[in-house]
Amino acid sequence: MYPKIKFQLDSKKDMRTFYCFISDARYDNGKILDWAIFQKYPFFKRYKSNNSIEIGKDKVKKFVLDIYAKKGRIMEKGLALYPKSWGKLEKEFYLLTDKLFKNNYWPKGKYIAYLTIWGMYPRFLEDKTFQIPYVHKNKKYVNAVIAHEMLHFKFYDYFLKNYPKYDKRKNDFLIWDASEIFNVIVQNTPIWLKEFKAATKAYPEHKKITKKLQRGYNKKGVFSAKELIEDILKELESGKNKNLIAIKREKQQ
């Protein structure tokens, strides 16, 4: 049984996401704030403090609601367009993931795509919800975002069941790195690009690994999640790349 994605608008979700970005920024020296908030809304730069944003909740609420009021018509258009656009691709998406993971099982969840005003599109594993741009200059890119977040849900469920030695609490950064690298390599193979017409960008810290593995997997055409995950784990656990995870873990403590 494949999940049917629902598309919704929720200003409260966007307010909560704002604080999620602030929380996550402590692990990456604030880079996430530049990508998710400052580049799109320079207004918040005046409240920047080290690698965080110090601003009252009332001001955040007013800002978000003002954007929803000003961009309401555009948001409503997206809310009508995206389900139709995704509907044309969802069958092929599920066929591709069936081949990749060698099964058609999907974990239970809400599977709601919330349109967001921010410049990054997080996913929430606990309830299987995620965010997508309320508008984008490349309309095809939105479907690539949806596929990306849906792949995360499939990846985490598969990984945690098949690699029990990687405890989620102790290896949260390693699993996150593996999931992002996995998605970039999968979504940038010819067979996926043929359907979605939009590439997925790697995080700067993952570019060396994705570049190293991408060429080989592009040539393979059809491959399994298992073989790709194991190649990614070898790279992440190699001497050079272990520092990538260690630095994040040190900041968490």
Q: Buried b vs exposed e over 199-234: b needs ≥16 C-beta within 10 Å?
A: ebebeebbeebbeebbeebeeeeebebeebbebbbe
Integer Cα distance of 18 and 37 in angstroms: 8
Answer positive or negative: Cα dihedral of 156, 89, 200, 20. Answer: negative
Alpha-carbon torsion angle 129, 227, 89, 3, nearest 10: -40
102-152: pLDDT as tens digits = 999 999 999 999 999 999 999 999 999 999 999 999 988 999 999 999 999
Higher pLDDT, 168 or 72: 72
Contact indicator for 62, 20 with CB cutoff of 8 Å: no
Average pLDDT over residues 53-75: 97
pLDDT digits (tens, 9 = 90+) for 71-100: 999 999 999 999 999 999 999 999 999 999
Q: What is the pLDDT of residue 168?
A: 84
Give 72 or 1, the one with higher predicted confidence. 72
What number is the average pLDDT over the span 27-51? 94
Average pLDDT of the chain is 93
Q: Which of 26-30, 76-80, 242-246 has the highest mean pLDDT?
A: 76-80
pLDDT attached to residue 63: 98
Cα 93 from chain centroid (whole Å) = 16
Beta carbons within 8 Å of 74's beta carbon, 6+ residues apart: 134, 135
Whole-number pLDDT of residue 135: 95
d(CA 100, CA 222): 8
Question: What is the pTM (predicted TM-score) of this model?
Answer: 0.93
How many Cα atoms within 13 Å fall on the side-chain side of residue 215?
5
201, 141, 143, 97 alpha-carbon torsion, rounded to 10°: -30
Q: Residue 241: its pLDDT value, please?
A: 61
**pLDDT attached to residue 178:** 97
C-alpha dist (Å) from residue 111 to 62, 75, 91, 94: 28, 19, 16, 14
Contacts within 8 Å (CB) and 24+ apart, 60-66: 60/15, 60/18, 61/15, 64/11, 64/14, 64/15, 64/18, 64/117, 65/11
- For residues 3-15, give the mean pLDDT: 98
pLDDT in tens, 220-232: 888 999 999 999 9
Q: Is the pLDDT of residue 239 over 70?
A: no
Q: How far is CA 33 from CA 117, 187, 206, 217, in A?
A: 14, 25, 19, 32
Least Cα distance to 145 among 157, 127, 158, 133 occurs for 133
Task: Report the 10 Å Cβ neighbour count for 102.
Answer: 11
- For residue 28, what pLDDT is reported? 86
Give residue 240's pLDDT: 59
Please report, for residues 43, 77, 109, 120, the alpha-carbon distance to residue 210 in angstroms, rounded to integers and kept in the order given: 34, 35, 30, 20
